[in-house]
Amino acid sequence: MAFFDQLWVQNSLIALAYTLLAIFLIRRARSEHWTSAWARLRRDRTGLCSLGVILMYLIFGTLELIRVPTQQSSQSVLEILTAGIPQEKGYSAPLALTSLSVANPKPLKGRHLLGTDALGRDTLVQTLKATRTALLIGGLTSVIYIPLGVLLGLLAGYYRRWVDDLVQYLYSTIAAVPEILMLVAVLLVLGKGLGTMAIALGITGWVGLARLIRGETLRQVERPYVAAAKGMGQSDWKILSRHLLPNVMHLVVIKFVLGFSGLVLAEAVLSYLGVGSPVGSASWGAMIDAARSELSREPVVWWNLTAATLALFFLVPSLNLFGDALRRAFDPRRG
């Protein structure tokens, strides 16, 4: 019973996350600023193509996240959809008819588009399943660093004086330490895992967002609507939450999209260094790490490295291009 409750909670959290995202976008769509930005974005072919690629990755990651109970344990929706792809006994090249074994090649149960790995698992399926790790890292880290960066940036820009000095001291201290060293140190202390990796990335990720929000808040507090709100006797909390926060949310969205690509690359680097994703979990970084020994064997196994590299190659530039398209849409004068 506890097993089914755990699956229900996990799937419910996924549904809640998408519901909150939809509510946020719908509410923002009522704003004239966001409506005009969407109109400009629709005319940006590069931005729309990048959005299509991102949505494709999002679909695969969500299908791997959602799990349903089975007779033995549980399976993701993606595993159920790819259940017809057979598992071999070892390496096989893309579209090969026999295994890679030179001494005793054996017929394969099926032809695999991108070959198989050391355990005989289809490389294409493993590449698609690794999207889950990228989605989890990006989502969990964003839950940590976005509220922290927005809150500290707003407080620093609104109150100024000693509050601004304190926030600047905090993010200057964190920025002074090389990011990769801090990430490895936090992971070595907390242990390996997706949750601890998200915490480590969140500790360093809020710095850039806080700087961005602070600068925009300093500009917004000089606007007449803030002076009018103060003249009407509104509290600082209402001014921050009802006036300043909505006027910086477009920067949060842009930073989230652009920062997501950095989080995906950071996960790949940490997994490559051996302090990232847990052993056994599908990850592009783990696939690249395994390629170190695969490239030195004879014959060379190149397809696992190629699949992971291409997956990163299509996702990361798409996120960066879409982030640039959002920036141009919200502020065409700086496009």
Tokens standing for residue 260: 């997501």
Residues 6+ apart with CB under 8 A from 290: 117, 118, 304
Residues 6+ apart with CB under 8 A from 35: 29
Of 38, 14, 15, whose CA–CA distance to 26 is shortest?
38
Per-residue pLDDT of the chain (335 residues; tens, 9 = 90+): 444 456 777 777 778 888 888 887 787 777 777 788 788 888 888 888 999 999 999 999 888 888 887 766 778 888 888 888 888 888 888 888 888 776 777 888 888 888 888 888 889 999 999 888 888 888 888 888 888 888 888 888 888 888 888 888 888 888 887 777 878 788 778 777 777 888 888 888 888 888 888 888 888 888 887 778 777 777 778 878 878 888 888 888 888 888 888 888 887 777 777 776 766 678 888 888 888 788 887 788 888 889 988 998 898 889 888 888 888 887 766 54
Domain residue limits, the chain: 134-334
Residues 6+ apart with CB under 8 A from 234: 242
| Contact of 209 with 252, CB cutoff 8 Å | yes
| Contact of 204 with 266, CB cutoff 8 Å | no
Q: How many CB atoms lie within 10 A of CB 12?
A: 10
pTM, two decimal places: 0.83
What CATH fold (topology level) applies to the domain 134-334? MetI-like fold (1.10.3720)
Tokens standing for residue 201: 């990335």
User: Distance of alpha carbon 323 from its chain centroid, rounded?
Assistant: 13
Q: Are strands 67-69 and 74-76 parallel, antiparallel or unpaired?
A: antiparallel
With residue 67 as reference, give the H or E element that holds it.
Answer: strand 67-69
